[in-house]
Structure 1
Amino acid sequence: MRVISGTAKGRPLKAVPGSGTRPTTDKVKEAIFSMIGPYFESGRALDLFAGTGGLGIEALSRGMDQAVFIDLEYKSLEVVKANLKATGMEDKAEVYKNDAERALKVLARRGTSFDLVFLDPPYRLKHGDKLMNKMDELALLEKNATIVLEYESSYEYPERFGNFICVRKAKYGETAVSVYKYVRDANLEETGQEE
């Protein structure tokens, strides 16, 4: 695994030891960034099930100002920190040990909001849409934020729900990726009503 493009292009990334973590392959990572970028002027990213930190680091390399990395496993967090150091991105990153839902509440209390979110939960957890609705409820998303949801290709998430609309979708073997846009007051827009 490596950083594919941007300021840290070509830097190798460590993997998490053992088989508990399923890192996003370089091929899928490249496809994701061609769908959402490929480069960014600025903004804040959240890598909620960070694993190796590869997605958040790629976003920093391609122009995001800051990224927050969350994972529940100590060994993942050690790898994220090592990868941030190897790519020279330490000063742009915050790394926390927490579970996803608790982490969202903590971030909300701090008044943090994000332009780009990576959600790559373990495939057994089919709660990406629930987490996205929670982010909406906690005001963690900037207007028009992009959410990248990675999941098992045999599973289907809705095309739209709440204030989220799927704008791109692709399958790569066992992995599926849906890119959602956060459209605040999507329901109002649909009916043509004004606030």
Structure 2
Amino acid sequence: MPIRITGGLLRGRNVPSPDTSRTRPTGSRTREALFNILQGVEGFRMLDLFAGTGIMGIEAISRGAASVVAVEMAHGQARLVLQAYKALSLEKQLTLLEKNALNIEKGLLCSECGFDLIYADPPFKDMEYPDLRKYWEWLNPGGVAVFEAPSRNLPAWVKEASEAGLVQVRRYGESSLVIYRG
């Protein structure tokens, strides 16, 4: 079933979604809420971890982001991400890495640069939710990291960071957005 782009220049266009229960694309309501929270991503460099269908990076480019580095370990999914970007003539704005997002180092992406937006949506139904705080250090000053986490079972590190005032947690049904501002 195709996924509809919710905003920006490509609003209303569709991105293919695989016929599998292993991929859980971020819902349109959550995507719209996120970009409303961000209040603009013009010129942003985005890192899309666990890219899945690629919809989050495509939404960002549709809304003005300059480029996306998408990291997706599954070969079939990575091919679909590339196809989606090509179908929308966005492939020049995409760097696609077929790697395990948890094992990449910033130097592999770029040694001197950082990101304005980091988005991660790990397959939390298939694994224990990982500690993603290391990516906070990859943000440019004023950058934002957003992690999609299970609402019913927030990881301990998210609860600790929330209690310390380091992150905001916003619930959207089964998923919550964990928002860290650098």
| Corresponding position: 1:33 with 2:35 | yes
Aligned residue for 1:160, secondary structure, equals helix
Q: Tell me the equivalent position of 1:192.
A: none
Q: Is 52-61 or 172-181 further displaced after alignment?
A: 172-181
Specify every segment of 5 or more residues in structure 2 that has no aligned partner in the other structure, as ranges.
none
Task: With the length of structure 2 as denominator, give the TM-score of the two structures.
Answer: 0.86
- Unaligned stretches of 5+ in structure 1? 183-195
SS of corresponding position for 2:5 = coil
- Which runs of at least 4 in structure 1 moved beyond 4 Å after TM superposition? none
If the length of structure 1 is used for normalisation, what is the TM-score? 0.81
* Alignment match, 2:104: 103
Find out whether 1:80 has 2:81 as its counterpart: yes
Alignment identity in percent? Answer: 30
Amino acid at match of 2:129: K
Partner SS state of residue 159, structure 2: coil
- Please tell me whether the aligned partners of residues 115 and 143 of structure 2 are also in contact (alpha carbons under 8 angstroms): yes
Structure 1, 62-71 or 14-23: larger mean CA deviation: 14-23
Say if 2:21 is the partner of 1:19.
yes
Number of residue pairs aligned between Structure 1 and Structure 2: 174
TM-superposition CA deviations, 1:47-72 (whole Å, max 9, x none): 01100000111011111101100011
Partner of 1:150: 148
The residue type paired with residue 105 of structure 2 is L
Q: Contact 1:53/1:80 (CA < 8 Å) preserved in 2? A: yes
Per-residue deviation at 1:107?
3.1
In 1, distance between residues paired with 2:83 and 2:109? 27
The RMSD of aligned alpha carbons is 2.1
Cα deviation for residue 17 of structure 1 reads 3.1
- 2:178 corresponds in structure 1 to 178
Per the alignment, in what secondary structure is the counterpart of residue 151 of structure 1? strand
Rg (Cα) greater in structure: 1
Offset, 1:12: 0.2
